């Protein structure tokens, strides 16, 4: 997920607005890169066959901090993994959105829920579903021939909090409005895969083992 922005700190819905990471957000991603990115680390660039990145500035910054020496031919900046287009709700927080809708006579029986109701002037859940399914199909086409480990075919997504949670739901075959509660902190890394090396059994790693570190003897120490 992209690092922290000023709007994210304030709980404001940030979709198409092209704002940068805060200093803290950039430091957050840089720290993750040092700890988690590298040969035989949690995110090994040598295992990446492609990267799909949101075209928003904050996502590009996050990607460049994670992988400063990336190969351009292995990167696609695509609206398919851009944040949900919040339309008229851009820059508002959830409370302001709900208050505005109620004042206009909406949501008399149930509270507004973005997963179910979408955004006025922005995207519906169906539109989000269609673009995520298109991306998932691309990823599975890349990985399907190598499900038995013939070669590493890891794919990295660098995107935003809400759309990535939508992506997880679609990856697992759930609707965007399926009540699967998730927390994804700024700068966090999550892992999706397949059960039993089967392309038809997409899965979520609820616990991921870190690669074993080389021992002192292996590194040439005494």
Residues 125, 177 contacting (CB under 8 angstroms): yes
Question: CA 21: distance to chain centroid?
Answer: 16
Tell me: is residue 85 an annotated ligand-binding position: yes
Answer yes or no: is 84 a known binding residue: yes
For residue 204, report the phi and psi dihedrals to the nearest 5 degrees.
-115, 130
**17 annotated to bind ligand:** no
101 known member of a binding site: no
CA atoms of 178 and 222, how far apart (whole Å): 55
- Establish whether 149 is an annotated binding residue: no
- Residue 221 structure tokens: 């120490």
Sign of CA dihedral 86, 193, 148, 195: negative
Q: Say whether 171 counts as a known binding-site residue.
A: no
Are 180 and 169 contacting, i.e. CB atoms less than 8 angstroms apart? Answer: yes
Angle subtended by helix axes 125-143 and 161-171, to nearest 10: 60
14 is in an annotated binding site: yes
Compute the distance between CA of residue 167 and CA of residue 88 in angstroms, rounded to an integer.
23
Angle at 153 between CA 147 and CA 158, to 5 degrees: 125
Annotated binding site: 14-15, 58, 83-86
Annotated binding site for substrate: 14-15, 58, 83-86
């Amino acid at each position: 997920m992209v690092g922290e922005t000023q709007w994210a700190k304030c709980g404001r819905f940030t979709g198409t607005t092209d704002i940068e990471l805060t200093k803290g957000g950039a430091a957050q991603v840089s720290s993750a890169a040092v700890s988690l990115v590298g040969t035989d680390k949690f995110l090994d660039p040598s295992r990446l066959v492609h990267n799909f990145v949101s075209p928003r500035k904050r996502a590009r910054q996050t990607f460049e901090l994670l992988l400063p020496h990336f190969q351009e031919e292995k990167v696609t900046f695509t609206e398919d993994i851009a944040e949900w287009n919040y339309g008229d709700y851009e820059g508002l927080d959830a409370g302001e959105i709900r208050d505005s809708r109620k004042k206009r006579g909406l949501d008399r029986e149930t509270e507004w829920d973005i997963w179910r109701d979408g955004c006025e002037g922005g995207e519906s859940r169906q539109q989000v579903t269609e673009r995520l399914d298109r991306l998932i199909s691309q990823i599975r086409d890349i990985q399907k021939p190598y499900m038995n480990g013939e070669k590493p075919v890891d794919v990295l997504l660098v995107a935003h909090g809400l759309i990535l949670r939508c992506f997880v739901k679609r990856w697992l075959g759930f609707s965007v409005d399926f009540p699967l509660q998730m927390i994804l902190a700024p700068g966090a890394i999550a892992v999706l895969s397949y059960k039993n090396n089967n392309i038809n059994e997409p899965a979520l790693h609820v616990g991921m083992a870190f690669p074993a570190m080389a021992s002192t003897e292996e590194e040439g120490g005494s």
